[in-house]
Structure 1
């Protein structure tokens, strides 16, 4: 790719309340980059944990008027817990939270009889139990809520 390509300009966009880069991410669209078929770009989520996603342009389609966008067409596994420390830490935690450990810990909580006092831990354990689960319909439901302006859904703790 020739130097000075548009994507170089947008290599790091500002985040609301974040590091003041020159372009406002609320107005930049993917179409502004001028991507070509089979071209790849890197999307970095959570600069602190350095989650990087390599994205390849597979098709450039005309939007349909009766559809909402964005739309998820496939995926694998649930997203990692927020602020889990990045990919290496996530893999270490995934090994730590084995099905055997989760079953043992649930058993301890039930024996203690203090479910309300342990509800947050039980939720976290459930997240690790569902780490390989992916629900495309639920992802699209959440994307549709977001596209409709429902910002509250961002704060829902739901395994997708």
Structure 2
């Protein structure tokens, strides 16, 4: 529920920024640089955190043709491989690499041009989303170990909800 609230709030503020940008540019004739920059950064947070949330709902884009054709032990191995691949990417690239990027930009004192906001906080979306993805991978691995392979039929959607829904 908390993650859904965060994403919804980001989306509402993003829509307000873009609406104000259009009004200020075409109606008032003086475009707002603040809302333009804020909308860019909010969109980045929305995409990354929204992607992590979608993974948690098990509604992420996946090529699971092979996994769905498998059964038993082969299916479990396939699902574990996919989880480890996602976990590895989120851990090494998003959390580790993203944290290094955040720390370097914070240390350099880099700020955004219009808002004078620390760029490290903007880039913080990368390790934040990575941590959420890792969290969901751990939950899914535990469920796989406890319940065995999932068996949704073709066309059946994954259950809504999750630990952070």
Report the structure, 1 or 2, having the larger strand content. Answer: 1
Asked whether the two chains share a fold, i.e. TM above 0.5, the reply is no
Which TM class, normalised by the smaller chain length?
under 0.3
Report the structure, 1 or 2, having the larger helix content. Answer: 2
Instruction: Return the structure number with greater relative CO, CA threshold 8 A, min gap 6.
Output: 2
